[in-house]
């Protein structure tokens, strides 16, 4: 029987994946865990408090619940990572190594770990960035994701751990608020529009970044995790692409619904991070090897975000 542990279940991605996987495999098949006691997010569910740096607790949870799959989502994101680089490195790197080691030792059947467009850097080709190219990240987050990709490949090749990974672009969803990312302006902007507040953007208006609507990201993750082993030829992490836009373009897509919505530009250190990342991603390998295809473009996403955020009660 499939029994899934979600590490970082109260984060932006964790909330969405837990919700989706419980609906898919059944409530009892998915055990959410997080560093903080946020069991109020999962009132009717078993919940474990887990600091992924604590490997004895990780081992206990894996054994106690007879876990067969792990989704390891706990990480410090790009912008926040720059405020405490050594902690970001420790959490992102040691956390992954603990999970990989336990997966090897406890013979966990399958592991998911997210990588990011942050593995790329200033001298990476910016448009339609290929799967294999120059990757010279200049954020601690990007460095940790790139090193993490190599460890994933290593554990797969050397110990046969079935690890699967996607290089997410900026993720945009309504169920949860993100924390500490450079692409997160594209989530906050919808909340400000709904609240009829002026939005202060920390990027310049023409800064184009690869982005993806959360429903596409969750579907990509589940499709990758459910595809047959033989389809997976990339064991570091797959490029995946959804859409690309600038702050000015998302602003105009929202203004179609909220004509009085105002936005100011106050670029800060996050502009430098954004400028070092690609504008668009070539995801040929994901499309050819396991059939990936995105559904949402910017107008569809804006409509969904505004519709869901303006409901009186949200899902969590
Ligand atoms: N969304 C992430 C960030 O901005 C990139 O993976 O940090």
Q: What is the pLDDT of residues 215-254, one digit of tens each?
A: 999 999 999 999 999 999 999 999 999 999 999 999 999 9
Contact 282, 129 (CB under 8 A): yes
> How far, in Å, CA of 270 to CA of 78, rounded?
9
The CA distances from residue 133 to 164, 170, 224, 283, in Å, are: 20, 20, 22, 13
Q: What is the pTM of this model?
A: 0.96
Say what angle helices 247-255 and 298-309 make with each other, to 10 degrees. Answer: 60
Q: Residue 145 CA: which ligand 1 atom is closest?
A: 6
Residue 71 parent element (H or E): strand 69-72
With a CB cutoff of 8 Å and minimum separation 6, the contacts of 4 are 21, 25, 29, 30, 31, 67, 68, 69, 70, 71
List the residue whose alpha carbon is closest to atom 3 of ligand 1.
181
pLDDT of residue 313: 56
Catalytic residue among 42, 71, 112, 141: 141
32 lines ligand 1 (CB under 6 A): no
Calculate how far, in angstroms, residue 303's C-alpha sits from the geometric centre of ligand 1.
23
77 lines ligand 1 (CB under 6 A): yes
Nearest alpha-carbon partner for 20 in 218, 304, 305, 168: 218
List the residue whose alpha carbon is closest to atom 2 of ligand 1.
181
In a mutational test of the pocket of ligand 1, which residue from 141, 146, 173 has the highest number of ligand atoms less than 8 Å from its CB?
Answer: 141
Do 172-211+242-309 and 4-170+213-239 fall under one CATH topology? no
List the residue whose alpha carbon is closest to atom 6 of ligand 1.
116
Strand partners, 172: 213
| Catalytic residue flag (residue 141) | yes
pLDDT of residue 39: 75
Phi, psi of 280 (to 5 degrees): -150, 160
pLDDT, tens digit only, all 316 positions of the chain? 899 999 999 999 999 999 999 999 999 999 999 998 777 788 888 999 999 999 999 999 999 999 999 999 999 999 999 999 999 999 999 999 999 999 999 999 999 999 999 999 999 999 999 999 999 999 999 999 999 999 999 999 999 999 999 999 999 999 988 788 999 999 999 999 999 999 999 999 999 999 999 999 999 999 999 999 999 999 999 999 999 999 999 999 999 999 999 999 999 999 999 999 999 999 999 999 999 999 999 999 999 999 999 987 544 4
Calculate how far, in angstroms, residue 64's C-alpha sits from the geometric centre of ligand 1.
33
Radius of gyration from C-alpha coordinates of the chain? 19
Strand partners, 66: none
124 lines ligand 1 (CB under 6 A): no
CATH of 4-170+213-239, one of 3.30.70.1230, 3.40.50.720, 3.30.428.10, 3.40.50.150: 3.40.50.720
Nearest alpha-carbon partner for 285 in 133, 96, 155, 124: 133
217 class by beta-carbon count within 10 Å (0-12 exposed, 13-18 middle, 19+ buried)? buried
pLDDT of residue 256: 96
Spell out the domain ranges in the chain: 4-170+213-239, 172-211+242-309
How far, rounded to the nearest angstrom, does the alpha carbon of residue 61 sit from its chain's CA centroid? 23
Q: What is the pLDDT of residues 59-108, one digit of tens each?
A: 999 999 999 999 999 999 999 999 999 999 999 999 999 999 999 999 99
Superfamily of domain 172-211+242-309: UDP-galactose 4-epimerase, domain 1 (3.90.25.10)
183 lines ligand 1 (CB under 6 A): yes
SS3 186: helix
């Amino acid at each position: 029987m499939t029994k899934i542990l979600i590490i970082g279940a109260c984060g932006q991605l964790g909330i969405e994946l837990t919700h989706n996987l419980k609906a898919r495999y059944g409530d009892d098949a998915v055990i959410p865990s997080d560093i903080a006691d946020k069991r109020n997010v999962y009132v009717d569910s078993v919940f474990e408090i887990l600091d992924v740096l604590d490997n004895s607790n990780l081992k206990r949870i894996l054994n106690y619940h007879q876990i067969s799959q792990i989704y390891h989502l706990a990480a410090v994101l790009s912008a926040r990572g720059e405020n405490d680089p050594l902690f970001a490195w420790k959490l992102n790197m040691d956390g992954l190594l603990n999970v990989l080691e336990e997966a090897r030792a406890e013979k966990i059947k399958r592991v998911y770990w997210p990588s990011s467009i942050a593995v790329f850097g200033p001298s990476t080709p910016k448009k339609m960035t290929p799967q294999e190219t120059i990757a010279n990240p200049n954020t601690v987050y990007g460095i940790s994701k790139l090193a993490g990709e190599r460890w994933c490949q290593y554990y797969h090749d050397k110990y046969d751990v079935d690890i699967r990974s996607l290089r997410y672009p900026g993720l945009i969803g309504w169920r949860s608020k993100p924390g500490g990312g450079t692409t997160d302006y594209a989530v906050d902007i919808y909340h400000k529009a709904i609240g009829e507040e002026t939005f202060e953007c920390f990027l310049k208006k023409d800064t184009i970044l690869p982005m993806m609507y959360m429903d596409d990201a969750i579907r990509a993750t589940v499709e990758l995790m459910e595809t047959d082993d033989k389809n997976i030829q990339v064991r570091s992490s797959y490029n995946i692409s959804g859409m690309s836009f600038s702050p000015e373009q998302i602003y105009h897509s929202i203004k179609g619904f909220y004509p009085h919505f105002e936005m100011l530009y106050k670029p800060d250190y996050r502009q430098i991070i954004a400028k070092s990342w690609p504008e668009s991603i070539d995801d040929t390998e994901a499309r050819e090897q396991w059939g990936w295809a995105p559904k949402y473009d910017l107008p569809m996403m804006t409509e969904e975000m505004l519709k869901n955020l303006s409901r009186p009660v949200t899902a969590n």
